[in-house]
Copies of this chain bind each other. A is one copy, B any other.
């Protein structure tokens, strides 16, 4: 029922507005004894933070994370360990520039949550979207960084695979390329083309949508829980909760609608270490439970709603007007959604690992440190 929390055994609660003193997250249910540090969290936050290229908002936020609770010194290593109690993390807002937003306080920005928050709550924090700002996603990334510690045997990576109408060529796909371009794109040729395309979009005061693909490798068979705790169902919820996301696909996704049963069947063969699948149309999930193949999720991000081109809108007291959103905005918010998608994948998997271990007692195969190795 808590609207600002996600997860069950591994659960986080985020808080904060775009232009308040800061934002934060409380991670509850993290197992004890895991080595942790601000640096580990910061590394993921730095990938999401704004102002890193001309393709993302020029708002300058250091997004420095402070760990306020849930950790203790491990005297053997002089590092920090999780204690099993809530990990509270705080990120201060340092570059709010509230005045940028004062002129829109009485207008609803099309495509934003301005109108719906006002209708729901009867009160509206107009400073940069308030709670509905994408700034909230920094909290997710911090939670995701903790989640990764829970499932060290699982590798989670993501890539932008489509920008506007331009898709990558999977023949060029190379995870090593993701950090070599400002788009988190695994296809370097596509990234080169996108650079020109996005410059043009940006200069014309427009914006564009994108598709992110998130892949988790190393997930053993058995995670996920029928019927309403399916891994796929939780992933859909997780990704759809990200700002501006309008579609979520697992494996073949929407294309599965066009296929026949013969085409869509992931056939099985006997392997040395057990059965394996000869294809992965399923995206690693059957009946809501992981099958040992990579878990593959894609999600579509709509174009940034804040654009420099005038749009029709209304005032708060219902008069026609126009709006141009002059703030510092990303021409393609899909780019910064890449580390956010990774974070949500990590949270869902960490939660399902703990739930699976709780219900079945099984935890082999992911490199999780046994209790005996804990402090």
Contact = CB atoms under 8 A, between A and B. Distances in A.
Interface in A241-257: 241, 243, 245-257
A228 interface: yes
Contacts of A306: 261
Copies of this protein chain in the complex: 4
Given A86-B14, A313-B267, A241 B247 contact: no
B262 A9 contact: no
Interface in A129-179: 130-132, 136, 162, 164-165
A234 to B, nearest CB: 7
A359 interface: yes
Contacts of A275: 108, 115, 314, 318
12 contacts: A83-B124, A113-B226, A121-B360, A131-B226, A211-B254, A227-B241, A237-B237, A256-B302, A264-B302, A265-B307, A270-B318, A357-B361
A261 B16 contact: no
Given A116-B289, A164-B259, 6 more contacts: A17-B69, A84-B359, A86-B131, A108-B275, A246-B251, A261-B306
A356 interface: yes
A124 B222 CA distance: 13
B265 A311 contact: yes
A278 B260 CA distance: 38
A239 interface: yes
Interface in A271-309: 271, 274-275, 278, 281-283, 285-292, 300-307, 309
Interface string A33-54: 1000000000000000000000
A318 B164 contact: no
Interface residues of A, number: 163
- In this complex, the member of A9, A208, A236, A251 whose beta carbon has the largest number of chain B beta carbons within 10 angstroms is A236
A241 B115 contact: no
Given A32-B123, A227-B131, A374-B122, A246 B249 contact: yes
A59 interface: no
A318 to B, nearest CB: 5
Nearest to A228: B6
Nearest to A209: B257
A328 interface: no
Nearest to A256: B302
A1 B5 contact: no
